């Protein structure tokens, strides 16, 4: 059964009007493409910061939303609302406004609790303050969700823990399947290649091109690559590194700019810029295929840690779509899947000498290994086409089953409304509890300090 679906996006989606797109807009539009292919009536609502002139794109309706009552009125006119829970105050506002009869689907493919914590901010105090402000929105939004979209098995385990801690998985809801695997997907349509993009920046036709495509975010590590390219170029002047979109125009956070600035500084200090290392600004969405296909190999290097293990790299999915040979140090679920299927090449970025030797091997005349990797992407491309990725989600939306949240709320309203009465203690009760917990002396100090602060 076809349903009216709205996907709420903070940023623009790929249209003839907006050509520079980041991951959130790509994700919203990709989900819309997949659901449209299954016969649903799909609209993408884009924040009014990006005024939308076109009314539709490839059958997907496009509208603008503004915070407050305008967004509330939009939500009322759809059967299903899909939004990323990591949009913070916007998502929690929707959670507060949406009626119980609407299906509320939360896109959780970005494990925001981990991502924010992995930013390696130099201003930890401000970052922590912002984090505690934002998690109240994340948590509130999750409480209202009917279904939750995750990207890989690691994320499934992660969100089982998150949802359990919020009481969403409980003795009553345990049999229900509310976590749905919906990774980032790819379009079934091939792009149009412009073979001259590299020549326009000064790279020659017979150069061996390593490409870094996308932001230099805190959880990526490019320093070994920069050193290796410098050293390899001394042996082979044809080896070049092109960094496209290293600085995200949609994110001015200094923690996201720091690695880009360091890469620029390295390039300038070593007299490599525009000779060996080339920096290109964020390119139009439709042009990215030309950069993928024109490179000999694309490199993505991850920093080890939880962020990497729980991630689902947007750029890596796009490289699959582009049929590119990828070099990666892995550790993230998608890279490991590619490596397992001989559809990517593992490089060691922990040991700079081994890393350099691996790159030197690839720059030789024999490109058989790179061509083999490209050929092995074929089966994976079919697996991750948006229409296939959203199949289970589409079926659930089309079913006439009532919303899990509403059913639970109606059946157990007495328990939900009580909100654990045991937590509401009198002042005397709280004092006795504190004395048992930390002792009379410490409790007295705490009480006196609070009185003096007042």
Residues 23, 61 contacting (CB under 8 angstroms): no
> Could you give the angle at which helices 314-321 and 23-37 cross, rounded to 10 degrees?
60
* pLDDT of res. 350: 67
Q: pLDDT tens, 151-177?
A: 999 999 999 999 999 999 999 999 999
What is the set of domains in the chain, with CATH numbers? Answer: 4-185+388-414 (3.40.50.2000), 199-384 (3.40.50.2000), 424-453 (no CATH)
Reference 87, options 145, 44, 24, 30; nearest CA is 24
How many of the other CB atoms lie within 10 Å of CB of 214? 24
DSSP string, 256-272: HHHHHHHHHHHHHHTT-
CB 57 within 8 A of CB 13: yes
Complete edge-to-edge strand list for the sheet that includes strand 4-9: 56-57, 60-65, 41-47, 4-9, 80-84, 103-107, 147-150, 179-181
Return d(Cα 295, Cα 162) in angstroms, integer.
41
Residues making up the chain, counted from first to last: 454
Q: What is the pLDDT of residue 105?
A: 98
Q: In what order do the strands lie in the sheet with 277-280?
A: 277-280, 239-244, 208-213, 297-300, 326-328, 345-346
Q: What is the pLDDT of residue 421?
A: 46
pLDDT the model gives residue 141: 96
User: In this predicted structure, what is the pLDDT of residue 422?
Assistant: 46
The 10 Å Cβ neighbour count of residue 177 is 9
pLDDT value, residue 280: 95
SS3 assignment for 29-61 = HHHHHHHHHCCCEEEEEEECCCCCCCCEECCEE
Predicted TM-score (pTM) of this structure: 0.85
Task: Give the model confidence (pLDDT) of 364-391 as tens digits.
Answer: 756 788 889 999 998 788 999 999 999 9
Number of helices (H), then strands (E), in the chain: 21, 14
Report the distance separating Cα 233 and Cα 417, nearest Å.
67
Low-confidence ranges of the chain (pLDDT < 50): 421-424
């Amino acid at each position: 059964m076809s349903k009216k679906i709205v996907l709420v996006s903070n940023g623009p989606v790929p249209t003839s009007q907006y050509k520079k797109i980041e991951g959130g807009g790509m994700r919203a539009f990709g989900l819309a493409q997949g659901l449209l292919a299954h016969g649903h009536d799909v609209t993408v609502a884009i924040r009014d910061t990006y005024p939308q002139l076109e009314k539709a794109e490839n059958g997907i309706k496009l509208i603008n939303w503004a915070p407050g009552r305008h967004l509330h009125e939009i939500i009322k006119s759809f059967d299903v609302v899909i939004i990323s829970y990591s949009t913070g105050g916007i998502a929690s506002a929707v959670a507060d406004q949406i009626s119980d009869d609407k299906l509320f689907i939360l896109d959780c493919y970005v494990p925001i609790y981990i991502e924010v914590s992995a930013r390696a901010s130099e201003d930890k105090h401000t970052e922590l303050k912002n984090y505690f402000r934002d998690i109240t929105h994340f948590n509130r939004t999750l409480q209202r969700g009917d279904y939750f979209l995750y990207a890989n098995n690691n994320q499934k385990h992660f969100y089982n823990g998150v949802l359990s801690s919020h009481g969403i998985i409980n003795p009553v809801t345990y049999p229900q399947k509310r976590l749905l695997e919906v990774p980032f997907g790819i379009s079934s349509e091939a792009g149009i290649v412009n073979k001259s993009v590299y020549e326009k920046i000064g790279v020659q036709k017979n150069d061996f091109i390593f490409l870094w495509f996308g932001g230099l975010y805190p959880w990526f590590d490019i320093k070994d690559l920069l050193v290796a390219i410098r050293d390899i170029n001394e042996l082979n002047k044809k080896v070049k590194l092109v960094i496209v979109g290293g600085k995200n125009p949609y994110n001015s956070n200094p923690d996201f700019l720091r690695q880009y600035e360091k890469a620029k500084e390295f390039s300038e200090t070593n007299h490599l810029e525009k000779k060996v290392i080339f920096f290109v600004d964020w390119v139009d969405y439709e042009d990215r295929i030309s950069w993928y296909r024109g490179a000999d190999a694309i490199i993505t290097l991850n920093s080890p840690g939880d962020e990497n293990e729980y991630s689902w790299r947007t750029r890596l999915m796009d490289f699959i779509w582009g049929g590119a040979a990828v070099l990666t140090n892995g550790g993230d679920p998608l890279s490991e899947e590619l490596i397992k299927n001989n559809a990517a090449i593992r490089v060691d970025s922990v040991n700079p000498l081994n890393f350099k030797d691996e790159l030197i091997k690839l720059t030789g005349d024999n490109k058989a290994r790179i061509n083999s990797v490209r050929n092995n992407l074929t089966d994976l491309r079919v697996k991750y086409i948006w229409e296939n990725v959203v199949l289970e989600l589409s079926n659930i939306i089309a079913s006439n089953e009532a919303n899990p949240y509403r059913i639970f709320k109606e059946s157990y309203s007495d328990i939900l409304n009580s909100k654990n009465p045991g937590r509401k203690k009198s002042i005397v009760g709280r004092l006795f509890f504190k004395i048992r917990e930390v002792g009379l002396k410490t409790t007295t100090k705490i009480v006196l300090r609070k009185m003096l602060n007042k």
